[in-house]
Amino acid sequence: MADSALQEMKTGWTKVLQALEAFGDMALFCGQVLATVPKKLPPGTFIPICYRVGVQSVPVVALTGLFIGMVLAVQAHAQFQALGLATQLGHIINVSVVRELGPVLAATMLAGRVGSAIAAELGTMKVTEQIDALTCLGMDPIHYLALPRFLACVLLIPTLTILANFMGVIGGSLICTWIYHIDPYHYWQNARGHISLWDLTTGLIKPLFFGGAIALIACQRGFHSRAGAEGVGKAATSAFVLSFISILVLDFFLGLFLNNLHRFLWPSFTVRAFGPE
Amino acid sequence: MSGDKPWLRLEKVSLTLAGHRVLHNISLDIPRGQTLAIIGESGCGKTVLLKTLIALMQPSEGKVLFDGRDMNDLPPDLLQKQRLRIGFLFQGAALFDSMTVFENIAFGLAAHGRHSEEEIRARVAQRLQEVGLNSAVLEKKPAELSGGMRKRIGLARALILNPEVMLYDEPTTGLDPIMTDVINQLILQTRKAHPVTSIVVTHEMKTVHRVADRVVLLHPLARLKSLEPQILFDGTPAELEACPDERVGQFIRGEARERLIELAMQENGES
């Protein structure tokens, strides 16, 4: 009995140590990538990655945004109609899309599309010794491989979020005005008065962090991929899972921080989604 | 032996990977211009030893000295310069699969130094000719090439920066006998054309006899008696046959003998 309890404690302690080690590895890797940011980008690396991260993600992000807006309209319409507030739908759809759903769901899609691809690509390079070959040819693999991917994600994921937000607003308006026959004039009149510059700003600050987290996690998973097809597969899966969790955690803490920042900067205004009326 | 000055030196190098000791107390002096073959069973640490020489892996204990400098005690910029003096042909060639053959071979030149486009093209063409390939392959991607061609392009890429030391990790593994002979010939040609020190990790005794001045046989640590050195043999290929150690003879003749029983016992133990 005492032996099994001791064994369980040992197993638990080993798991804690492994978690701490993994956290330390991640922190060290993030530090190494951020230390390369002031350096000049390796020639010929940035544009192809921007194309893959940005241009090739446009259709999937546009579709995601469009359907977020459409689903919101369908779900909210019945409740708002019952209260006689159907013309207010534009307000709730647009605020929800711009402040929360657009950034979070676009980042989630990109964690799946871009993050997994980065982890799989770097993982394959690791197991086929291409990363070692880069080192032997006098390159710093973190500078050569991770920095362009990090910068591409940080710069382009907010840009793609703008697209997702735009498509979400369009999707919501299409359903409300075409399917539910809400008068477009009243729909847009109510919608436009309720999105502040602060809403737009917070909706774009968050994706900067989401983009950074997706790139750092994906690169770290790729660089630490284990050998074989299974190792690369696990690297890609864990890149997505960790990125998704990071997006949700970051969203919560950034939401709290930005709301408090708003209260601090403009005490006389309230933040609608979380603040008191 | 081609010289007496230790050009590359391993001093009591030990290395542990994921809790398992792979190298233990290895000391080797490799003079300039020598071609050293490192042989031994799979898993004895040959590739790990090769990677410690270029500081891709750091020893847990001991020093790796190249031209009098400890490779693991250098600031990053100096380590990078030291690495550029060493060429590495990887087992699977490790060509960058997103790049063409031309971009692969030219990579080192394009990344370091100020070379004109014409100069880079001329150097790439020269190296490609040296490894017996024509310019028709330059625009192909590595995935379109055979194993032998990939190895030869890997060699051209490693040689483009005129290294003083060439490391070959199982250069002939997985190739047909003709291509094996082509690669052996290329190792000899490289040595003739450029004054390089070569270290060849291989299983092929034919390669050892064809290219090496000196042979070192490593043994897996798990199968050594305590206090026994990990290097079972260090001498010329001619002396290899006369080595009194039964394990050396067994390896060079490719005889499994009691290993079959050991492996069967291991399998039974696992199941």
What residue ranges do the domains of chain B occupy? Answer: 1-85+215-271
pTM score, whole prediction: 0.86
| Per-position b or e across B144-157, b if 16+ CB within 10 A of its CB | ebeebbbbbbbbbb
pLDDT of residue B2: 44
pLDDT, tens only, B125-169: 988 988 888 888 999 999 999 888 999 999 999 989 889 999 999
Residue with tokens 């290294």: B163
Side-chain half-sphere exposure of A81, counting CA atoms within 13 A: 10
Q: What is the pLDDT of residue B74?
A: 92
Q: Which of residues 42-61 of A touch B (CB under 8 A)?
A: 42-43
Beta-strand runs (E) in chain B: 6-17, 20-31, 35-40, 61-66, 69-70, 86-89, 165-169, 197-201, 214-218, 231-235
Inter-chain CB proximity A132 and B112 less than 8 Å: no
Residue of B90, B94, B111 with shortest CB distance to A138: B111
pLDDT at B254 over 70: yes
Helix (H) or strand (E) holding A30: helix A2-36
Confirm or reject contact between A21 and chain B (CB < 8 A).
Answer: no
Separation between Cα atoms, residue A164 and residue A162, nearest integer Å: 5
Q: For the CA atoms of A252, A253, A256, A258, what is the dihedral angle to 10 degrees?
A: -110
Q: Supply the pLDDT for residue B269.
A: 63
Measured between beta carbons, the chain A residues lying within 8 angstroms of B87 are 136
Contact between chains at B90 and A129 (C-beta distance less than 8 A): yes
Chain B residues with a Cβ under 8 Å from any Cβ in chain A: 51, 54, 56, 76, 80-81, 83-84, 86-88, 90-92, 94-97, 107-108, 110-112, 157-158, 161
Fold of B1-85+215-271: Rossmann fold (3.40.50)
Domain coordinates in residue numbering, chain A: 60-265
Closest-approach residue (CA) in chain B for A48:
B98
Beta strands at B35-40 and B197-201: parallel, antiparallel or unpaired: parallel
pLDDT in tens, B33-89: 899 999 998 888 999 999 999 999 999 999 999 988 999 999 988 999 999 999 999
